[in-house]
């Protein structure tokens, strides 16, 4: 079943110098049980899209979309209260710096108990509620791999390491058994051993509970190993989307190609200390976005037609928007 169906999402910001399109007609779909990766560098708008899905964007952003459906319901047409009801029931999000996204003044036990939704406590008499909540909090901590629950439940966020804090955020997120978990760069602040633990945990939740995951990151290696499908964003435009293996083995857009080739991980033949492939120039700032295809000034294959925004094309579940796409490589590349 289609969980998320977003078509032509545009996020605009009004400034004294005019409207800036931070996100320009992005399509995003998500099925039940799918793990999708959203790859993009800084300025690509990936965090903005996540916040738009959660409905926590600042008021000065203007959201327009042809379709913004969650499980068949159009979120943009619903009144605010109904939107929040649906989102809080079904979608959860974890953030980049976990110790900063938790309340610094309350111990973990209180925060975890607070995140357990009321509908799981039906049938429990009122004097047993807090005991029940505490028991459930302990069970959640065990599920995310924290065995020493006594010490953790009575500590404050600043006393715990980032890895433990991130596990607690995941515990708070899965407390309500959401259909979708949005992970906004969850592992950037963590160490590599904790990172692998976290991804194993996400994979197990995905398989055992059927929870979909939207994994947002700027590291291609992380996303490559842990996702089924991939969407690549550049400067607010969707450049390529499809199955991860397909996109990485035969990228059609030059940006994806550059990303793949700039990471030594995907170049087994690259000699020691040889220069990496890098696109010239740097990512344009929000104030100076190019017209048409935003990779134009940096693309090695840019031509006159690239001042018009390319139309998304599709080839066997592999979407790309480029006027002059790369040829499909053989699978033995």
Partner 1 sequence: MKKLRLYYEEYNRRPYQLLWRHFVTQQFALFGLLSLLSLLLIAIFSPLFTPHDPYLQNSALLNQVPSWQNGGQVAYPFGTDDLGRDLLSRLMLGCSYTFGTALLAVFGSLAAGLLLGGLAGMSKGVKSSIFNHLLDLALTIPSLLFAIVIVAVLGPGLQNTLWAVMLALLPQFVHAVRHEIQHQLKQDYVIAYRLDGANNLQILWSVILPGLWEPLTLLFTMALSTAILDIAAIGFLGLGAQAPTPEWGTMIADALDAIYLAPWTVALPGLLIFITVLSINLVGDGLRVAMKKRREI
Partner 2 sequence: MSKLLEVKALSKSYQKASGLFKSEKIQALQDISFSLNAGETLAILGENGSGKSTLAKLLVGIEQPDSGEIFYAGQPLNCQDYGKTNHLIRYIFQDPARSLNPNQKISEILHAVLTYSTVLTFEQREQKISQILRQLGLLKEHGNYYPHMFSGGQLQRVALARALILDPKILILDEALTAIDPSLRAQIVNVLLELQQDTGIAFLLITNQLRLVQHVADQTLILHRGQITDYGTTTTIFSAPEHDYSRRLINSAQWN
Which of partner 2, partner 1, none does residue 200 bind (CB under 5 to 8 Å by kind)? partner 2
Q: Which two tokens stand for residue 273?
A: 């200390």
**CA nearest to 329, candidates 252, 250, 267:** 250
Distances in whole angstroms, Cα of residue 208 to Cα of each of 48, 86, 323: 29, 23, 42
Distances in whole angstroms, Cα of residue 76 to Cα of each of 1, 24, 54, 333: 20, 17, 12, 44
**What are the beta bridge partners of residue 70?**
4, 73
> Taking the complex as a whole, how short is the minimal distance between the CB of residue 234 and partner 1, in angstroms?
20
Question: Using the rule CB under 8 A, is 277 a contact of partner 2?
Answer: yes
Which of partner 2, partner 1, none does residue 124 bind (CB under 5 to 8 Å by kind)? none
When binding is defined by CB under 8 A, the residue of 23, 172, 259, 322 that contacts partner 2 is 259
Which of partner 1, partner 2, none does residue 315 bind (CB under 5 to 8 Å by kind)? none
The neighbour count for residue 174, using CB atoms within 10 Å, is: 20
Question: Using the rule CB under 8 A, is 270 a contact of partner 2?
Answer: yes
CA geometry: angle at 233 spanning 229 and 235, to 5°?
Answer: 175
When binding is defined by CB under 8 A, the residue of 221, 303, 305, 317 that contacts partner 2 is 221
The neighbour count for residue 194, using CB atoms within 10 Å, is: 17
Which of partner 2, partner 1, none does residue 265 bind (CB under 5 to 8 Å by kind)? partner 2
Q: Under a CB-based contact definition with an 8 Å cutoff, are residues 112 and 168 in contact?
A: yes
Question: Mask of contacts with partner 2, 149-168, x by CB under 8 A?
Answer: ------------xx------
Q: At what angle do helices 129-143 and 162-174 cross, to 10 degrees?
A: 120
Point out which residues bind partner 1 (CB under 8 A). Answer: 15, 17, 286
Q: Which is nearer to partner 1, 270 or 286 (CB)?
A: 286
Q: Under a CB-based contact definition with an 8 Å cutoff, are residues 49 and 38 in contact?
A: yes
Q: Which is nearer to partner 1, 105 or 287 (CB)?
A: 287
Which of partner 2, partner 1, none does residue 286 bind (CB under 5 to 8 Å by kind)? partner 1
Alpha-helix residue ranges (DSSP H) falling in 154-238: 162-174, 192-209, 220-226
- Residue 56, phi then psi, degrees to nearest 5: -115, 25
Q: Which is nearer to partner 2, 79 or 275 (CB)?
A: 275
When binding is defined by CB under 8 A, the residue of 169, 195, 250, 321 that contacts partner 2 is 195
Which residues in this chain contact partner 2 in the complex, by CB under 8 A? 41-43, 161-162, 187, 191-193, 195-196, 199-200, 218-222, 225-226, 258-259, 262-265, 270, 272-279, 282-283, 285
């Amino acid at each position: 079943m289609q969980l998320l169906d977003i078509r032509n999402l545009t996020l605009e910001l009004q400034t004294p110098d005019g409207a800036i399109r931070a996100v320009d007609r992005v399509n995003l779909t998500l099925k039940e049980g799918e793990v999708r990766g959203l790859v993009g560098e800084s300025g690509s708008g990936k965090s903005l899209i996540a916040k738009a899905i959660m409905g926590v964007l600042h008021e000065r952003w203007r959201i327009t979309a042809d379709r913004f459906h969650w499980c068949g319901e159009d979120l943009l047409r619903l009144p605010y209260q109904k939107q929040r009801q649906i989102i809080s029931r079904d979608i959860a999000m974890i953030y980049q710096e976990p110790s900063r996204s938790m309340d610094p003044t309350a111990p973990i036990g209180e925060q975890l108990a607070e995140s357990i939704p009321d509908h799981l406590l039906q049938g429990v008499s009122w004097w047993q509620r807090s005991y029940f909540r505490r028991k459930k909090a302990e069970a959640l901590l065990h599920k995310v791999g924290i065995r020493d629950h006594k010490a953790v439940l009575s500590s404050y966020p600043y006393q715990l390491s980032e890895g433990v804090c991130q596990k607690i955020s995941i515990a708070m997120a899965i407390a309500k058994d959401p259909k979708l978990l949005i992970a906004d760069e969850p592992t950037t602040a963590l160490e590599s051993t904790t990172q692998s633990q976290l991804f194993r945990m996400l994979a197990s939740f995905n398989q055992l509970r059927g929870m979909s995951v939207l994994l947002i990151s700027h590291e291609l290696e992380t996303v490559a190993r842990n996702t089924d499908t991939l969407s690549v964003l550049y400067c607010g435009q969707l450049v390529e989307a499809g199955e991860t293996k397909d996109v990485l083995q035969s990228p059609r857009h030059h940006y994806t190609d550059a990303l793949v080739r700039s990471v030594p991980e995907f170049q087994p033949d690259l000699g020691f200390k040889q220069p990496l492939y890098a696109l010239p120039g740097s990512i344009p700032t929000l104030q100076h976005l190019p017209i048409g295809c935003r990779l134009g000034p940096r693309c090695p294959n840019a031509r006159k037609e690239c001042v018009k925004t390319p139309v998304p094309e599709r080839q066997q579940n592999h979407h790309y928007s480029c006027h002059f796409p790369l040829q499909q490589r053989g699978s033995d590349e």
